[in-house]
Amino acid sequence: MCPAPIPDHGQRGFIIPIGGGEDREKDMHIHRRFVDMSGGKDADIVVIPTASQLDATGPDYNRIFTELGAGKVEFLPIARRADCDNPQFAEMIDRATGIFMTGGNQLRLSTIIGGTLVAQKIRRRNAAGVPVAGTSAGASIMSEHMVAGGPGNSAPAEGNISLAPGMGLTNAVIIDQHFTQRNRLGRLLTASSYNPFLIGLGIDEDTAAFIGPDNVFEVVGSGTVTVVDASQLTHSSMWEASEGQAISLLGLRIDVLGEGCRYDLNARQAYPPDKHAHFCSLPVSAGGGG
């Protein structure tokens, strides 16, 4: 699934995958930047808590974004596929200037909203300039190929990761979250070996990659983003490995980016922090519905 087409003379909105476990009580740097991008006091933020089965998740994020100065915040109580046909929900997404998907279970999120009017609206709003953020499960679903599961604390091996279709806001990366905390390098390497075109993003807790319309992202938060570039592989044993067998991957490039570092997904190049670069803090104009 490719990203939705950008309207003429338009600019795609930021895509903001967050590794989960973000600061929701103190400085809230990630959420604060998202609110600013969404319009601040003029923001109209829609929260989608579908991945979570906790009743408090939607109201909790409403509180966070309201405390940070967002003009309007609402959440969509989508718990089954039939809810995605609600015309009121579609209208709310059409007018949103920021969209946030919470954590929980990414398969719950994808099986409930995947292929529905709600998913189409989110894709079109992002193509029209609206920033879309997601934490944990909400981060995983952003890419065309979604990490659905698999063990941590393991070497890259055949069968140690399961994939499913994601929302397709980007087809350049595959995203894993809670990355260092749950030792998920092995499964991200496995995912990258399936198709070396994809760039693997392993995002730590309380950390986000603010991916701009130019496909350059900046790291914000207290952890790191691990970037796996398998495009220059000289050898992979994945095709001949048996179930559970460790695989060989030669020629991988791995970059570990802390706060302020940037990465160009097109050029596959990492850059150190630039104190004069503030492109992620600039509000993004929200275009009309598509």
Catalytic residues: 136, 178, 205
Find where tokens 């399936």 sit: 194
**CA gap 252, 247 in Å, rounded:** 13
Token code pair at residue 86? 């609600």
